[in-house]
Homo-oligomer: A and B are copies of this chain.
Amino acid sequence: MRALVKDVAGPGMTLKDVEKPVVGPTDVLIRVLKAGICGTDGHIWNWDKWSQARIKPPLIIGHEFMGVVAEVGNAVRAVRVGDRVSAEGHISCGICLLCRTGQAYICEHVKIIGVDRDGCFADYISMPENNVWKLDPAIPDTWAAVFDPLGNAVHTVMAAGVSTKSVVITGVGSIGLMAIPVARAAGAAKVIAIDINPAKLELATRLGADYAFDARTEGLQQRILDETNGDGADVLLEMSGSGAAINLGLSAVRNGGRAALLGLPADNVSLNLAEHIIFKGLTVLGINGRNMFETWYQTQAMVVAGRIDLTSIITHVMPFEDFGECFALLKDGKAAKIVMNISDLGAR
């Protein structure tokens, strides 16, 4: 089968023929129809410091996808050949404290597809049945392909709790952008988006943000206070990983507010804990992956109910063969979310 492989310890990837994956007794073989490209894939392509430490070539890359079940192991119980599915890409151990207490998303021994084991930029991928998510027919293929990052947005929004709240989102890359309609669908009364990329801010407004501010605007903290009754925002959704944005965001949250941190800083961040967290009585939540599988139920419920629309976030749908152009677009910063057509079993 074809697969996009990181085959050497350096920049770039290669589209090549490889063996189809082995399907164990509790596994499901999925023919991949569509796959989304994540910022992480870009880091791996570029072979940055993080990639050098984590990735062991050769490895098939990619972790956002949907497809159709082509084969099931003999101990598979609920998934059938022909099922239209997406899958949770974090494969948890099932044995540790977290897995045994309903928090598999922070499993101590998690393996991530496309990072720790072969991923989905390939004609086929083998997944444990437990990780497979059967798709409601109402969900378009292209949206289903990005349930992984959409789930990050839903997990962050739902952990923070936004019903009737004012919400600041720092960083509107593709997940931050998705968080805008998700927050509105989840009941947010006001959404304020912050970034430094004018195109993303413009898109944020189109997606329903009440305000979209350049992070470098003078007096921005005061401006946010003005828009939030002088108290500050009820909720911060931090999706940039930037130290400056984290500090700005925390300064914009009101006493007793909640801050959910999803963006991953590359380095340590210096925080004024006394002023921004302790005196304020803030609740700060670290968010990782998707809550298995509550987030998937929530995501599907929102999409099927027609509460969110991803059309303008998926800016590009491209052929698998054009992967090089896709990664160039990603680097360029102009695309929001890029989806590749991997196989051709019908498109919706």
In the complex, identify which listed stretch (A52-60, A212-220, A294-302, A326-334) lies at the interface while the others stay far away.
A294-302
In the complex, identify which listed stretch (A7-15, A186-194, A311-319, A336-344) lies at the interface while the others stay far away.
A186-194
Residue among A108, A301, A304 facing the most chain B CB atoms (10 A cut-off): A301
Give which listed residue, B161, B229, B264, B271, contacts A271 with CB less than 8 A: B271
Q: Is A170 an interface residue (CB 8 A)?
A: no
Q: Is A21 an interface residue (CB 8 A)?
A: no
Q: Is A203 an interface residue (CB 8 A)?
A: no
User: Which chain B residues lie closer than 8 Å to A78 at the CB level?
Assistant: 95
Tell whether, in the assembled complex, residue A278 and residue B256 are in contact, meaning their CB atoms are under 8 Å apart. Answer: no
- Please report the C-alpha to C-alpha distance between residue A59 and residue B282 in the assembled complex, in whole angstroms: 30
In the complex, identify which listed stretch (A36-44, A62-70, A97-105, A117-125) lies at the interface while the others stay far away.
A97-105
User: Which chain B residues lie closer than 8 Å to A321 at the CB level?
Assistant: none
A165 to chain B, nearest CB (A): 7
Q: Is A30 an interface residue (CB 8 A)?
A: no
User: Which chain B residues lie closer than 8 Å to A108 at the CB level?
Assistant: 231, 255
- CB contact under 8 A between A301 and B186, given known A256-B103, A273-B246, A281-B106: no
Tell whether, in the assembled complex, residue B97 and residue A229 are in contact, meaning their CB atoms are under 8 Å apart. Answer: yes
Give which listed residue, B95, B164, B278, B287, contacts A302 with CB less than 8 A: B164
Q: Give chain A interface residues in 81-111, CB to chain B under 8 Å.
A: 94-98, 100-103, 105-108
| Residues of A bordering B, CB below 8 Å | 25-26, 75, 77-78, 94-98, 100-103, 105-108, 130, 154, 158, 161-166, 185-187, 189-190, 229, 231, 241, 246, 254-256, 261-262, 264-265, 268-274, 277-288, 292-294, 296-298, 301-302, 304-305, 307
